[in-house]
Amino acid sequence: MVAPGGRLMDAIVETFRWLTDAASWTGPRGVLARSLEHLWISLVPLASAMAVAIPAGVLAGHHRRGQAVGAAISNLGRAVPSLALLVFGLLLSVRVLGLGFSFWPIVFTLFFLALQPLFTNSYTAVREADPALLEAARGQGLSERDVLLAVELPVASPVILTAVRITAVQVVATAPLGALAAGGGLGRFIIDGFGQKDDGQMLGGVVLVAVFALLVEFAITRLERRVVPGPLQGRTDAAAVVATGRAN
């Protein structure tokens, strides 16, 4: 007779066995190689989205313009599921740009995924800077450029960095979808394990994705402490970060 939970126990044992098998880790399809791929397919879209969305959000916030655009992006970003984004990424890569499967579909997907929280939070963080602080800054004779770079940006930096962290975790955790479009990364273990009815490999992949996400979170938290001005640290998580929750 099989005890209730026996299947679960089996799965855990198999996962453990797969994770501790040296063969799982090495070679071009091993965990190490897939982790590097995972890092790459996350980093490229995240960095590109940061390069676009943060300056755009900061400038829009500084000029207090683009409220309507911001709200539209924000709402659209939240409403569209990641899977739909993947379909969009696929179409864009394969049909429109002719870049094929594997790498670009998931990169486009994650890029679009990351735009919304980065833009919305950068915009909000700058726009909600204390008006009295800005008036005092202008009153001392700071130019508009100085106001933006020396006051608004540092004051907004905790919220922006927090948005980067949360977005990065979201990107890393969504990257496995890429395996559906023949992409690499840790998602391969989940998709392949499922296809091969190899529970150990599949669940091992899930564990690895979770660990990967935690490591990213940890690394960016460390970065935040270095980038955010001392007296502004440690008061963002509660105060900030609108609209990163989304339908998946």
Partner 1 sequence: MTDPMIRLDGATKTFPGTSTPAVDALSLEVPTGEIVVFVGPSGCGKTTTLKMINRIIEPTGGTITVDGVDVRDREPHLLRRDIGYVIQQIGLFPHRTIAQNVATVPRLLGWDEDRTRARVDELLVTMGLDEELGARYPAELSGGQRQRVGVARALAADPPVLLMDEPFGAVDPIVRGRLQVELLDLQARLRKTIVFVTHDIDEAIHLGDRIAILNVGGHLEQYAPPEDILREPATPFVEEFLGPERGLKRLALRTVADLGELGLGNCVQADASVEEAAQVAAEHQERWIGILDGDRLRGWAWVSDLDGARRAGDVETSLFRVALSAEDTLRAALDGLVRSRTGVAVVLGPDQRYDGMITLARLNQAMVS
Query: Closest distance between partner 1 and the C-beta of residue 104, in Å?
Result: 40
The residue type at 193 = G
DSSP codes joined into one string, 141-192: T--HHHIIIIIIHHHHHHHHHHHHHHHHHHHHHHGGGGGGGT--STHHHHHH
CA distance 94 to 104: 9
Residues 84-113, interacting with partner 1 (CB under 8 A):
none
232 binds partner 1 (CB under 8 A): yes
Q: Shortest CA distance to 61 belongs to which of 124, 112, 153, 149?
A: 124
Cβ proximity to partner 1: between 134 and 207 the closer is 134
Cβ proximity to partner 1: between 2 and 132 the closer is 132
Cβ proximity to partner 1: between 41 and 151 the closer is 151
* Count of residues touching partner 1 (by CB under 8 A): 23
159 binds partner 1 (CB under 8 A): no
Burial 91-102 (b: 16+ CB within 10 A, else e): ebbeeeeeeeeb
**Single residue of 72, 136, 211, 219 touching partner 1 by CB under 8 A:** 136
- Coil, helix or strand at residue 244: coil
Segment near partner 1 (CB under 8 A), from 74-82, 130-138, 185-193, 200-208? 130-138
Residues 26-65, interacting with partner 1 (CB under 8 A):
none
Residue 180 CB partners (closer than 8 Å, separation 6+): 86, 187, 191
| Site track 137-156 with partner 1 (rule: CB under 8 A), x = hit | xxxxxxxx-x---xx--xx-
Q: How far out from the chain centre does Cα 5 lie?
A: 35
Q: Which residue in the block uniquely carries the two structure tokens 């800077």?
A: 129
Query: Closest distance between partner 1 and the C-beta of residue 137, in Å?
Result: 7
78 binds partner 1 (CB under 8 A): no
202 binds partner 1 (CB under 8 A): no
What is the contact surface with partner 1 in residues (CB under 8 A)? Answer: 130, 132-144, 146, 150-151, 154-155, 229-232
